[in-house]
Amino acid sequence: MGESMTTPARYELSIGDSAYPDCLRDLPDPPRTLYVMGSPASLVPGLGVIGARKATPYGLSGAQRFAGWAAAAGVTIVSGAAIGCDQAAQLAARAGAGSTVAVLGCGADVDYPSGSADLLCDLRKNCAVVSELPWGAPPVRWSFVRRNRIIAAFSAALLVVEAGLPSGTFSTADFALDLGREVLAVPGAITHPESRGANRLIRQGATPITDVSELGDALRQAGLEVGFTNESERILLPSGSLERALLAEAQRPDDLARALDCDVVTIARRLGELEMEGRVVRYRDGRYGFVASR
């Protein structure tokens, strides 16, 4: 009993189990067994966020902004925990206590990449890390393309925040299209090689995403519930208090939560609502600031 308090729970979900995610059954070759560390309740369709491992500041900022906003809206973020855009997206989701699922190309109990070990530890305790490979399986090259189809299946919508050419993100996008999922992409400068892949996806029909309002519309179109209107949460946050705090200085969600004696989820959702209204902006360092009126 005591060990279960510190050791993440492990599950082996067979395709016939009631807890097996229905979205994976859309695959022509679904995993016969899904190995899970964490909570099976986290395994719901969400927003897949993927991008370059050697990400630029622009790509990292896009991953953080859009994943953080969607997670604050109650949408589960799905990614692969890779260094770069994947990690940035999942860390942003967790910064606001949001839900995110990591799909690995190795055993769900393996810390790969090692640079994401802390993230994976957090997800195993508070969200979920999954794989179709058995416990302890090492990463091998072929397993990542296979992994990508699972990310696509978990994604009601898939957002490519940055990708060059060639890029492994294309296999995930192809799987998503084959499954009838919405494919979204963040456009980049035509002069930047790191943006050629995302720009090509847009040229081929992916929906361009340039702000959180467009993302919200796309997520609703994909059938996801995007919510910032829970009245019980509004009661916990006195009217105008967040706005007044941000007028004084730009702050991070966790700092605002401490200053206002409020839970960080409520703060993150209100920030997302204000960002959608164009009243606040998220800076690269994770702070939010009020947009000066003109």
Contacts from 224-232 at CB under 8 Å and sequence distance 24+? 224/45, 224/46, 224/47, 224/75, 224/156, 224/157, 225/74, 225/75, 226/70, 226/73, 226/74, 226/75, 227/73, 227/74, 227/269, 228/72, 228/73, 228/269, 228/270, 228/272, 228/273, 228/276, 230/269
**59 and 86 both lie in a single domain:** yes
Compute CA distances 123 → 45, 126, 139, 241, 249, whole Å.
Answer: 17, 5, 19, 31, 31
- Residue that finishes a domain, picked among 168, 197, 221: 221
CATH number at residue 17: 3.40.50.450
Within-domain flag for 50: yes
Q: Is residue 69 domain-shared with residue 126, that is, in the same domain?
A: yes
Sequence-ordered alpha helix ranges (H) in 10-104? 57-72, 85-95
> Residue 293: what pLDDT?
53
For residues 16-31, average pLDDT: 97
What's the pLDDT score for residue 50?
A: 98
**Number of helices and strands (H, E) in the chain?**
11, 11
Check: CB of residue 42 under 8 Å from CB of residue 34: no
Q: For residue 28, is pLDDT > 60?
A: yes
Q: How many domains does the chain have?
A: 2
Q: SS3 breakdown of the chain: % helix, strand, coil, rounded to 5?
A: 45, 15, 40
Closest CA to 267 of 127, 71, 63, 48: 71
Looking up tokens 């340039």, which residue turns up?
Answer: 210
Highest mean pLDDT among 57-61, 126-130, 272-276: 126-130
Residue 236 has pLDDT above 70, yes or no: no
> What would the mean pLDDT of 246-265 be, rounded to a whole number?
83
Amino acid at 85: C
Average pLDDT over residues 121-148: 97
Residue 186 shares a structural domain with residue 99:
yes
* Residue (of 127, 140, 157, 132) closest to 50 by Cα position: 157
Last residue in a domain, options 176, 197, 221: 221
In this predicted structure, which of 40-44, 156-160, 284-288 has the lowest mean pLDDT? 284-288
Cis amide prior to 113 (ω within 30 degrees): yes
Does residue 1 surpass a pLDDT of 60?
A: no
Q: Which tens digits make up the pLDDT trace of 88-117?
A: 999 999 988 899 999 999 999 999 999 999
Domain range for 254 is 231-290
Pairing of strands 155-162, 46-51: parallel
Chain mean pLDDT for the chain: 90
Q: Which residues neighbour 218 within 8 Å (Cβ) at sequence distance 6 or greater?
A: 157, 182, 184, 207, 209
Question: Residue 151, Cβ neighbours under 10 Å: how many?
Answer: 24
> CATH number of the domain that 276 lies in?
1.10.10.10
Top pLDDT among 262 and 161 is at: 161
Residue count (the chain): 294
User: Quick one: what percent of the chain has pLDDT higher than 90?
Assistant: 67
Phi, psi of 61, rounded to the nearest 5 degrees: -65, -40
Q: What pLDDT score does 227 carry?
A: 78
User: Is 135 part of a structural domain of the chain?
Assistant: yes
CB neighbour list of residue 143: distance below 8 Å, 6 or more residues apart: 105, 106, 133, 137
pTM for this model (two decimals): 0.81
> What would the mean pLDDT of 240-265 be, rounded to a whole number?
83
Q: pLDDT tens digits, residue range 274-289?
A: 888 888 888 888 888 8
Q: What is the mean pLDDT of residues 222-233?
A: 66
Chain position carrying tokens 């969600």: 253
- Ranges 46-50, 76-80, 273-277: which has the least confidence: 273-277
Q: Is residue 78 part of a domain?
A: yes
Higher-scoring residue by pLDDT: 110, 255: 110
Of 44, 87, 97, nearest to 64 (Cα)? 87
pLDDT (mean) for 248-275: 83
The Cα 70–Cα 100 span in angstroms is 11
pLDDT, residue 109, reads 98
